[in-house]
Amino acid sequence: MAAGRSKFSNKFGFIAAAAGSAVGLGNIWKFPFEVANGGGAAFVLMYLLFCFLLCFPVMVTEIAIGRKTQKNPVGAFTALGFPKWRFLGILGIIAGIFILSFYNVVAGWAFGYFVQLSLGNFDIGSQFGEYINNIGRVGAYAVVFMLATAYVVSRGISGGIEKASKILMPTLLGMIIILVFYSMTLPHAFEGIAYYLIPQFSEINFKVVYNALGQAFFSLSLGMGALITYGSYVSKKDNIISSSALITLSDAGIAFLAGLMMFPFVAYLSNGDMASVEGGPGFIFTILPGAFESIGPVVGRLVGALFFLLLAFAALTSTISLLEVPVTYAVDELKIERKYAVWFIALFIFMMGVPSLISSGDSYFFTNFITYIGNEKATSFIDFVQHVGSDTLLPLGGFLITIFTAFVWKKNNLNKEIETGYPGFKGTLIEKYIDFAISYLCPVVLGVIFLLTLLDRFFGVHMF
């Protein structure tokens, strides 16, 4: 089985694909609105700390398990000799399906904005509410997006995923850098940057902490076996530590750049009054078209279309990885041919996304889907799926995987797998840090934050 398994063609191919999975709507759509939602620079700081201190060791572990077993997240636990832990893989697949179902909807919005701004329709920003409730139109964009995702995944690892990422990722980096430079030249850019970079520690509360943690896991594609899956296609010669470091750096780096690009635009539009800034899913969609319009009809149209094309590219390399997880499972475990697995699963997840598609006003039931205990306002289906799929299940997955590695599979087995591509690993400082993080820091911090998040978000019990 393992002998016939396809592989990324080299280390760069793997890093491009994994960074492609990591960099997505999470960085460019979600990160700026989470910053604006609460915390400003304090949120940025928490996010960066979580990425490097907690998430990086989890990433190393996931990739190592994938590469050791050459299996999907469910089969991996059986291959290691612990079939009882298969539930963790199943949990990951469920989280991935939840996430892709709403992610594809937002990716469709972004793709539609690319079309609208290419046509010079700057009014789309003020019409965002109507736009997302024009179900026929956003539904069609979501269909196109899922088709593109399924097409790439159906072409397999090196011919599809790797090839697309190697082109899309550097293009994206180039586009974002151009936009950062451009946004810096706008009036009031400085106020935006100050809001983004000078932390007000009084802004930190528990909500900022758990949002930053959820954001770090979501952004790095951790906690659901995406990197076990990608790791299963990695060569034994690759150095997992340096690959993980590069993936973490690119992801945090692009989120950081997205903020640098976004906040000068926000400050420009609000005439420097950053106190009035409020985040939310419509953040970039409502704000940016107006900002692009004021740049001028031709350049603004170009910059605007470029921006949303960038967002769609970033989303595509992530939806690919989200779909690849259940597909690898179906191919490995259920012995279904890749091309059938891809189209069937894509259709299933698309259908699961329909309630998200209609939950921004179109359907009363899905717009007011659930009211958490202790909350007055109802939560829409699309938000509920995010709260469960990404904010809850991903940190839970991260917590359980560190417990599994430290106390069941054992640290020396992890070390052995890392050493196959990095013979000098033993005795390094990084080895000691990963040992400490996997055995103590991650289980304790992730476990505690997970429990408190559950209480705070869903049951109205606010401990802090």
Q: Which of 168, 224, 254, 258 lies at the binding interface for ligand PFF (CB under 6 A)?
A: 224
How far from the centroid of its chain's Cα atoms is residue 138's Cα? Answer: 21
If binding is defined by CB under 6 A, does position 322 make contact with ligand PFF?
yes
Contact 111, 105 (CB under 8 A): no
What does the radius of gyration of the chain's CA atoms come to, in whole angstroms? 21
According to CB under 6 A, which residues from 199 to 218 bind ligand PFF? 218
Q: Which of 158, 219, 328, 453 lies at the binding interface for ligand PFF (CB under 6 A)?
A: 219
Q: Which of 18, 19, 35, 99 lies at the binding interface for ligand PFF (CB under 6 A)?
A: 99
If binding is defined by CB under 6 A, does position 254 make contact with ligand PFF?
no
Least separation in angstroms between residue 314's CB and ligand PFF is 7
Q: How many residues bind ligand PFF (CB under 6 A)?
A: 16
Q: Give the SS3 label for residue 373.
A: coil
If binding is defined by CB under 6 A, does position 27 make contact with ligand PFF?
yes
**In the 3-class helix/strand/coil scheme, how is 323-372 assigned residue by residue?**
HHHHHHHHHHHCCCCHHHHHHHHHHHHHHHHHHHHCCCCCCHHHHCCECC
Contact 346, 323 (CB under 8 A): yes
Q: What amino acid is encoded at 42 in this protein?
A: A
Contact 438, 406 (CB under 8 A): yes
If binding is defined by CB under 6 A, does position 98 make contact with ligand PFF?
no
If binding is defined by CB under 6 A, does position 24 make contact with ligand PFF?
yes
Please, which residue, 250 or 367, has the CB nearer to ligand PFF? 250
**Structure tokens that stand for 273 in this block:** 């009054």
Largest CA distance in the chain: 62
If binding is defined by CB under 6 A, does position 63 make contact with ligand PFF?
no
If binding is defined by CB under 6 A, does position 33 make contact with ligand PFF?
no
Q: Which of 208, 226, 349, 406 lies at the binding interface for ligand PFF (CB under 6 A)?
A: 226
Least separation in angstroms between residue 440's CB and ligand PFF is 25
Least separation in angstroms between residue 26's CB and ligand PFF is 2
If binding is defined by CB under 6 A, does position 61 make contact with ligand PFF?
no
If binding is defined by CB under 6 A, does position 26 make contact with ligand PFF?
yes
Q: Which stretch binds ligand PFF (CB under 6 A): 77-85, 314-322, 371-379, 443-451?
A: 314-322
* 192 contacts: CB under 8 Å, gap ≥ 6: 183, 262, 263, 264, 265, 266, 267, 268, 272, 274
Q: Which of 165, 244, 321, 379 lies at the binding interface for ligand PFF (CB under 6 A)?
A: 321
Q: Which of 14, 18, 21, 212 lies at the binding interface for ligand PFF (CB under 6 A)?
A: 21
CA–CA dist 230, 76 (Å, integer):
12
**Structure tokens that stand for 438 in this block:** 């996997």
CA–CA dist 93, 397 (Å, integer):
11
Q: Which stretch binds ligand PFF (CB under 6 A): 205-213, 231-239, 284-292, 317-325?
A: 317-325
According to CB under 6 A, which residues from 403 to 422 bind ligand PFF? none
If binding is defined by CB under 6 A, does position 22 make contact with ligand PFF?
yes
Neighbouring C-alpha atoms within 13 Å toward the C-beta of 326: 24
Q: Which stretch binds ligand PFF (CB under 6 A): 6-14, 21-29, 66-74, 454-462?
A: 21-29
Q: What amino acid is encoded at 454 in this protein?
A: L
What is the DSSP track for 96-141?
A: HHHHHHHHHHHHHHHHHHHHHHHTT-GGGGTTHHHHHH-HHHHHHH
Least separation in angstroms between residue 49's CB and ligand PFF is 18
Helical H runs in 358-423? 364-367, 381-386, 393-403, 411-419
Contact 397, 224 (CB under 8 A): yes
Least separation in angstroms between residue 319's CB and ligand PFF is 8
Q: Which of 15, 16, 19, 25 lies at the binding interface for ligand PFF (CB under 6 A)?
A: 25
Q: Which residue is nearest to ligand PFF (CB)?
A: 26
Q: Which of 101, 104, 116, 318 lies at the binding interface for ligand PFF (CB under 6 A)?
A: 318
List residues binding ligand PFF (CB under 6 A).
21-22, 24-27, 96, 99, 218-219, 221, 224, 226, 318, 321-322
